[in-house]
Amino acid sequence: MESTPVWRRPTLGAVAARAGVSTATVSNALNGTGRLSEATRQRVLAAARELGYAPASTARALARGGTGVLGLTMTTYGDLPVPYIEIPYYAQLTLGAMSAAHERGYLLLAMPSSMSPWMWLNTPLDGVIHGGPRADDPVRAILRERGVPMISEGRPPEPRRCDAWVDADHEAGLRLLLDHLARSGARRIGLSLPLHDDAYPRLIAHAYRSWCDEHRTPALVEEYASLPDYFTAEQHAVSRLLSHDPRPDAVIGVYSDSGHNILAAARHHGLRVPGDLLVACVSEDPDYATTTPPVTTVSLRPDRVGAEAVDLLLAVINARGVVDRRRLVQPVLLPRRSTRRAARRRNGTP
Amino acid sequence: MESTPVWRRPTLGAVAARAGVSTATVSNALNGTGRLSEATRQRVLAAARELGYAPASTARALARGGTGVLGLTMTTYGDLPVPYIEIPYYAQLTLGAMSAAHERGYLLLAMPSSMSPWMWLNTPLDGVIHGGPRADDPVRAILRERGVPMISEGRPPEPRRCDAWVDADHEAGLRLLLDHLARSGARRIGLSLPLHDDAYPRLIAHAYRSWCDEHRTPALVEEYASLPDYFTAEQHAVSRLLSHDPRPDAVIGVYSDSGHNILAAARHHGLRVPGDLLVACVSEDPDYATTTPPVTTVSLRPDRVGAEAVDLLLAVINARGVVDRRRLVQPVLLPRRSTRRAARRRNGTP
């Protein structure tokens, strides 16, 4: 039996031989290091081009006929483009994903959520990380049509067995806040809950009710419309919470600006934080370190979510055998003054 | 004279006529809005493809045979890849540039600083924003060779008349700090200065000496090597500053972590901040809001620098006639407790 000829990736040595230089010189020419004459550099680049040499970092992508480029986007909401890169969570997720892609020899292209199907059809991509998926998202249909590998950042609302996704462990994050508030003496913890068609509010509501059942405390929930203006809508929802009798002694919000909204509603009701009311929220906004008072937050670690998303997407693209297609990143608690047990309360419960 | 036939971009109406639908339906199909049957959507996309229709947002790029993709990178430093996306200044610059590109219908690709010439030769780009340029940067030579339009973020060390660049107004930023410290009572302001071959330290040193001359105050400068470990090197430089006799009553640092380094050196010398020493630095690090004490900073507004860079690059790509090719973004002062005039000093100077 004769051996079948197989195309092999040209080696650094082959490029060196063709250009008539050492392999160190090839390496310097391709990596922009060392001191080379312009003529030598040109000769090496020409030899590399002729042989189809690609450096190791992109070899895997190029060997598969890929582009070496990964896409990242957020779902579209009809006519309303979401400037998601300006939202702290997605800003950090984007940077985390980008760093992870670079480390693995890939580039990451963040696409605007308003991008037309036309551009989705024409931008060359090896795979896409799709943020905040909805059930009927048109971008998902187009990518499936094109055969572009895709994973979700955030659980799909109606997950299917084949879906691959990375998400923050939202239930664990909410429990971090609830346990922390309970330790700070809260006995009636209210929840301000957005109405939205992604999975997030549903996961939060479920985790909250389970915790309240386990701890035999009342579930106090007020809902608000998250579009178009969740600032005003959430302040009204918190106002309704604070009008309950007896009043909640703590309120949790679950969107980035919820802490600001709850503080505003508390001021409106003449309540001091943390003396009369403990306040906490799920947010990546660094401003909570300097509000009056600083507000306790849970961080979902979006940079980790972004890095895990790149790892999972590359596993799917390269069809690695056994892969955990559902990955949860553990949130962290950042306790601040808004949930510090008040002195008089501490005296009351020794 | 006969009129020359000119290729015209197909209109929405032409696509509608070909697909046998209304222009509103074409718009919905291309933008992923409205409720359409899958068959209709397919028919519209096929018609658009056949006619070569491109939506307005990318029409300009595609009409020029462009890719609609802008590149962003930082200079390479020999063998050492700089994970620049993890530096707060470049992280915010990247996000600002990305938002600005999306608003104008372009995509932005952040490239790792370690990328090889090979990838620079093979990644399709309409233009590149090149950060922190050095005089002999190999990436600049490659892009010039390929004829890829390029602008600099940061002034080139040896600017030429044709160079286009956007930069923070570093001199203005340093003057904001110096004036603020003088108003807080400082009379001997020390400067901790990095040694590096980009334009930044030179601009800072020049602005500092001019200000000291104008205000007839002594120039107190200690230099440190910025590579490989500027943390330790800067703490030693600040230690040398604090050993001057008489001692400086304020110290300015100009790198992102300088504030932390100066606080560490002050602690080492048993000095209280701001009681014995005022401290300030140029940084985008939000952690300075919660250090002990919080540290006064100047922000160079990297998000604005990124947006201006995209605007300038698109002007160069589209060869708009009169364009300001040198643009400075004005920094802002964020005063915090580290520069608050101490009570006893205030009593001394009524």
Structure confidence by residue, pLDDT tens digits, A87-122: 889 999 999 999 888 888 788 988 876 666 666 666
Does residue A206 lie within any of the structural domains? yes
Distance from CA of B165 to the nearest CA of A (A): 23
**Interior CA angle at B83 toward B82 and B87, to 5°?**
105
Residues A49 and A73 reside in one and the same domain: no
Put simply, the answer to whether B45 touches A112 (Cβ < 8 Å) is no
**Cα gap A56→A19, rounded to integer Å:** 19
Q: Which of A159-163, B107-111, B151-155 has the lowest mean pLDDT?
A: A159-163
Instruction: Specify whether B238 is located in the same domain as B91.
Output: yes
Check CB contact under 8 Å for A94 and B91.
no
- B80 with B46, same domain? no
Q: Which residues have C-beta within 8 Å of that of residue B169, sequence separation ≥ 6?
A: B328, B329, B330, B331
In a mutational test of the B interface, the residue from A80, A106, A118, A337 whose CB has the highest number of chain B CBs within 10 Å is: A118
SS3 of residue B248 by DSSP: coil
Same domain for B79 and B37: no
- Select from B58, B119, B141 the Cβ nearest to the Cβ of A119: B58
Dihedral angle, C-alpha A289, A293, A296, A297, nearest 10 °: -50
Would the CB atoms of B98 and A94 count as touching at under 8 Å? yes
- My answer on whether B85 and B105 are in the same domain is yes
Q: How far is B33 from chain A (nearest CA, A)?
A: 5
CB B307 within 8 A of CB B108: no
B30/B84 same-domain check: no
What is the predicted pLDDT for the residue at B74? 78
Tell me whether residues A58 and B119 touch, CB distance under 8 A.
yes
- Interchain contact, B98 vs A110, CB within 8 Å: yes
Q: Same domain, yes or no, for A228 and A193?
A: yes
Residues of B in contact with A68 (CB under 8 A): 119, 123
| B1 part of a folded domain | no
How many residues are recorded in chain B?
350
Give the mutation candidate from A25, A77, A119, A283 for the B interface (greatest B CB count, under 10 A). Answer: A119
Contact yes or no for B98 and A119 at CB 8 A? no
For residue B191, the cross-strand partners are B221, B252
Domain count, chain A: 3
Mean pLDDT of chain B: 83
**Above pLDDT 70, what percent of chain B?**
81
Contacts of A109 in chain B (CB under 8 A): 69, 107-109
In a domain, residue A61? The reply is: no
State residue A3's pLDDT score: 39
Give the residue from chain B lying closest to A44, CA to CA: B118
Q: How many beta-carbon pairs under 8 angstroms link A with B?
A: 115
Q: Does ipTM come in above 0.90? A: no
Contacts of B79 in chain A (CB under 8 A): 31, 33
**pLDDT value at position B144?**
82
Output the domain CATH number for residue A45: 1.10.260.40
In the structure encoding, which two tokens stand for residue B145, read together? Answer: 């060779």
- The answer to whether A110 contacts B112, with C-beta atoms less than 8 Å apart, is no
**Domain boundary at B38, B53, B68, which?**
B53
* Cβ distance of A121 and B53 shorter than 8 Å: no
| CATH number of the CATH domain containing B240 | 3.40.50.2300
Residues of B with Cβ-Cβ distance to A76 under 8 angstroms:
32
pLDDT: which is higher, A17 or A45: A17
Q: Chain A residue with minimal CA distance to B79? A: A33
CA distances from B111 to A98, B145, B183, B276 (A): 9, 18, 43, 45
Contact A99/B86, CB-based, under 8 Å?
yes
Instruction: Tell me whether residue B289 is in a domain.
Output: yes
DSSP A63: H
Q: Do A45 and B121 touch (CB under 8 A)?
A: yes
> Is B3 within the bounds of a domain?
no
Residue B7 lies in a domain: no
Q: Are residues A293 and A314 in the same domain?
A: no
pLDDT in tens, B121-173: 667 788 999 987 776 777 788 888 888 899 999 887 777 777 899 999 999 99
Q: What is the DSSP string of A32-56?
A: T-S---HHHHHHHHHHHHHHT---H
Domain with B108 in it:
60-350
From chain B, pick out residues whose CB is under 8 angstroms from the CB of A296: none
Residues B167 and B290 in one domain: yes
- The partner residue sitting opposite B117, judged by closest CB among A32, A91, A107, is A32
For residue B200, the tally of other CB atoms under 10 A from its CB is: 22
Asked whether the predicted pLDDT for residue A56 surpasses 50, the reply is: no
Who among A86, A98, A290 is closest to B110 (CB)?
A: A98
Of A48, A109, A116, the CB nearest to B109: A109
Q: Give the integer Cα–Cα distance in Å for B231 and B16.
A: 63
Q: Are residues B289 and B200 in the same domain?
A: yes
> B314 CA to chain A: closest CA distance, Å?
18
From B132's Cα to the closest Cα of chain A, the distance in A is: 16
pLDDT, tens digit, 9 for 90 and up, residues A246-295: 999 999 999 999 999 999 999 999 999 999 999 999 999 989 999 999 99
Q: Using the 8-state DSSP alphabet, how is residue B80 labeled?
A: B
Residue range B221-256, pLDDT digits in tens: 999 998 778 899 999 999 999 999 999 999 999 999
| pLDDT at residue number A288 | 96
In a domain, A59, yes or no: no
Q: Would you state the pLDDT for residue B66? A: 67
> Edge-to-edge, what's the strand order for the sheet holding B189-195?
B220-225, B189-195, B250-253, B278-282, B296-299, B332-334
In a domain, B2, yes or no: no
The residue that leads in pLDDT, B12 or A267, is: A267
Looking at the structure, tell me whether residues B85 and B35 fall in a common domain. no
**Chain B nearest-CA residue for A56:** B116
Same domain, A31 and A160: no
**In A, which residues are within 8 Å of B68 by CB distance?**
119, 123
